[in-house]
Chain A
């Protein structure tokens, strides 16, 4: 990873320790730290304290778009080249509801993915990483200039990190 800022990387085996560490780091006034976890852990996440992800807006918008475009498409196409089948009305809504429904789901889902991608990449921060973070360790990386690293290192140590390492 190029352009990664220097900082302190700590690994935790215990979830409560990790949560504690997060709070410590926040007290030290750091906001742009990164927490790694093999599973979404409520305790840690609440310590970090993010607001609810805005992805849901994407889902809503996508769903609505699908529904409306479904209606518009079926109706317009029915009248653009009017052909009668089975003595039914040209634009008969009941069958079209199915198309509307399917498009609702389809666009809803795709929009959700788009939202997921968009927001994760937008909130991406370059940070140091250790492969064990997807296995059984929780990690915290605090980017900080060299002169303050000692302090952070100590705080994390006290919080109960199993190991702490300084990244240049």
Chain B
């Protein structure tokens, strides 16, 4: 850490991707040990906390199934509430992972190697949290399988024109692909752990999951291409997923929803919030697990830059919405946006603007960009802001065309417990991952060491 903290470098000079004089061996050791050493107290405590929150989610869902969606604050006109807000929020979080692992991979951004593993994992867990909501928010959960095109005695098929159906496909496919991407990347590292393993159990389990990987170049050849392809198709996928999610709103006719800017704006927002979440986790775990040499300040700084950019994209989208609302000349649209900023939900709107547009501006300043404290706080604020963005959008329902049907949406205890619970689920999964799976893609990091280059004259 000390090294990185002080590293100042002339423009154009690419500072070392990882610090601390690492060798191939030291990498396998440092990363491997994390999963091998004895379970720490901190981990147990954290896991206990997260786990009990996850149980809160379970309880809330149980009660929901028993009573019906009425336990939430929903009403007509606001027939969608926090469930959908949380869904969109979590899906958004997921995006950073795929972006880092796929898009940056294609752009040959080699610094990604240090963070892509747990960014990907975070994607998986976020998407799992997201997938919970479309499932439970429907009125008759026991029939939710009807949205899949299964032959049945009714002779009925789903309606493929429905954005909600697109969601189901897009998100579940996104999950499957991310899972495969993640696992494929994991195979060589599992092999490494396997080969370090001493106990029989570890030998068996790791052996089993590493598929008997031998790191032969004949395998690497197919492996690399497959990985490249996955990266290649994940890129349009990740861009499409949140675009599709945005169509839930964009294809409707509700003022404030019916907006063509949504797809790009949602994707930008997703990456924005995703990076914020990665940042939060990275800052914590590099400290707790002593990964400062692998996740260096340079990595964090690069992520902060991306947050700054995406944050401003989102800000641009907000202002653009207003302009279009006015320019469209539609009284409903203009009312909807004035209502957002000054109506009953103005408080939510201004929280959103502050957190998403103003907060990231601190990253203009290099010192703050490289300050752990600043970026940690900022990342959390940004996540709050992005949650509120979705909230603001969903509750535009409260005031649409006919004033006679206007109403106000108030969350209930169960809305809150479900949201909190979903965080519990997320962190539970993340802690399990941090305990048992190599946090950093060892084979990839080795690949970016100078010694990895066959033409590197370097010492053995």
- Are chains A and B native binding partners rather than an unrelated pairing? no
